[in-house]
Structure 1
Amino acid sequence: MVYLTGDTHGELDRFKDGELRRAGKGDFVVVLGDFGFVWDGSKAEQKNLDWLRKRPYTILFLDGSHENYDLLEQYPTEERFGGLVQPLGGNVYHVCRGSVLELEGKKYLCFGGAESPDKEEREAHVNWWPQEMPSDEEYARCEAALEANGWQVDYVLTHDAPSKFLDFSVLAEGENNRLHLFLDKVVMKTTYEKWFFGCHHKDVQLSTKSRCLFCDVVSIGEKKPWWKRR
């Protein structure tokens, strides 16, 4: 089973309560950005990370606008699940932007990042990082991965959303940026079943194919009996 949820902001409650308590060995839990457990490197944060590393399921997270990218960049990258990830120890992995992962026979395009609306009030490399917005290399990696898959995936997972989703919804805010417009291109060119994103701290079904997640948990696939789990 693959479980999807929105921003966790360094809080363990989502993993300890509700739907995610059902996740077990062989399952995947995907956080759609603002994971928040790589922020200050404190002992308390490390304790929480250690708890997550011991979960029986695999945790995959996209980056958002509230990650410490300087700390995150210290972790090595490797090819896994069909894409590029950074292992944080145990079963916890950061999914690099533009990766197409294959989980339980389904393809997931993953692309993190978002622009902080209050970045002018924050201090660079203290509580705000310019790496929150994708680089030319990351945009190119995403296009190359989609090209290799014939611009067809089963699901698209992002932190922010295309402007086409935001302009006509309750989520619209501010001006569009380069990331929004890039995701617009992905919408237009890619064949996909559903698109899930976080970022906006709301649980909203925008259409039959697009959904904003925050505290809700969406499960994809069928729960395997314990004797068939990895």
Structure 2
Amino acid sequence: MVYLTGDTHGELDRFKHGRLRWLGKRDIVVVLGDFGFVWDGSKEEQKKLDWLRKRPYTLLFLDGAHENYDLLAQYPVEERFGGRVQALGGNVYHVCRGSVLELEGKKYLCFGGTESPDKEEREAGYNWWPQEMPSDEEYAACEANLEANGWQVDYVLTHDAPSRFLDFTSLAVGESNRLHLFLDKILLKLTYEKWFFGCYHKDVALSTKSRCVFCDVIPMGERHAKR
């Protein structure tokens, strides 16, 4: 089964306790950005990554603000699960922005990235990377992949969210940026069942078709899809 969860920020607690602890080799876990295990390249971080690589399940993650994009760029890109991913070893993969993955017969549009609200207080190449925001090429690749799928998927997985989800909610933070507006654009054209995103450190259903995820672990089985 496919399971979704939110930001992990380089901490193993969610993987060591609760539902994820019991998953097997047929299961898939997707972290909705701010994975945080590719951050400083330290020995301690490598130990954590090695532990994750030894899990029996497949672990996929979107990128957010808490990734070291210079370190992440060193991992090879390959075609897998119907889209483009970077292999980090074992069963751990970073999902490239705009990929449409096919997992257990369902199509998932995946698009990471966000804008750090405190980037002016951070140091480029140390704890902030401009690559946290998508490039023109990544926006174009996403639209091309959606065009190839007839602008129809089962689920949308993103780190940030369309501004239309954030307006008039407790999640709204300042002005919309280019990523919010791009997600607004595809929202209007896309046919999908449900949209899940991380980023805002809350577990809340905004509507029957949109949900913010943080610590929850959500099974994407048939019963969930029909709710």
TM-score (norm 1): 0.96
Identity %: 84
Count, aligned residues: 223
In structure 2, distance between residues paired with 1:23 and 1:181: 37
Q: Return 5+ residue gaps in structure 1 as ranges.
A: 224-230
Task: Write out the 4+ residue segments of structure 1 that deviate beyond 2 Å after TM superposition.
Answer: none
In structure 1, distance between residues paired with 2:212 and 2:84: 24
Q: What residue in structure 1 maps to residue 189 of structure 2?
A: 189
Per-residue deviation at 1:139?
0.2
In structure 2, distance between residues paired with 1:222 and 1:73: 36
2:14 match: secondary structure: helix
Q: What residue in structure 1 maps to residue 212 of structure 2?
A: 212
Per-residue deviation at 1:6?
0.2
Taking the TM superposition and a 5 Å limit, the aligned residue runs for 1:31-110 are 31-110=31-110
Q: What residue in structure 2 maps to residue 198 of structure 1?
A: 198
In structure 2, distance between residues paired with 1:186 and 1:24: 34
Per-residue deviation at 1:20?
1.0
In structure 2, distance between residues paired with 1:11 and 1:24: 20
Taking the TM superposition and a 5 Å limit, the aligned residue runs for 1:143-182 are 143-182=143-182
Look up the equivalent residue of 2:145 and give its one-letter code: A
Per-residue deviation at 1:22?
2.8
1:144 match: secondary structure: helix
In structure 1, distance between residues paired with 2:201 and 2:147: 32
Q: What residue in structure 2 maps to residue 227 of structure 1?
A: none
Taking the TM superposition and a 5 Å limit, the aligned residue runs for 1:17-32 are 17-32=17-32
The C-alpha deviation readout for 1:85-123, integer Å capped at 9, x for no partner, is 000000000000000000000000000000000000000
Q: Return 5+ residue gaps in structure 2 as ranges.
A: none
1:30 match: secondary structure: strand
In structure 1, distance between residues paired with 2:19 and 2:188: 33
In structure 2, distance between residues paired with 1:222 and 1:160: 25
Look up the equivalent residue of 2:129 and give its one-letter code: W
In structure 1, distance between residues paired with 2:28 and 2:151: 24
The C-alpha deviation readout for 1:28-59, integer Å capped at 9, x for no partner, is 00000000000000000000000000000000
Q: What residue in structure 2 maps to residue 226 of structure 1?
A: none
Look up the equivalent residue of 1:181 and give its one-letter code: L
In structure 2, distance between residues paired with 1:206 and 1:119: 27
In structure 1, distance between residues paired with 2:222 and 2:27: 10
The C-alpha deviation readout for 1:41-88, integer Å capped at 9, x for no partner, is 000000000000000000000000110000000111000000000000
In structure 2, distance between residues paired with 1:169 and 1:145: 30
After superposition, the CA RMSD in angstroms is 1.0
1:195 match: secondary structure: strand
Q: What residue in structure 1 maps to residue 117 of structure 2?
A: 117
In structure 2, distance between residues paired with 1:162 and 1:23: 31
In structure 2, distance between residues paired with 1:81 and 1:168: 36
In structure 2, distance between residues paired with 1:121 and 1:191: 39
Look up the equivalent residue of 1:213 and give its one-letter code: V
In structure 1, distance between residues paired with 2:177 and 2:106: 30
In structure 2, distance between residues paired with 1:168 and 1:19: 33
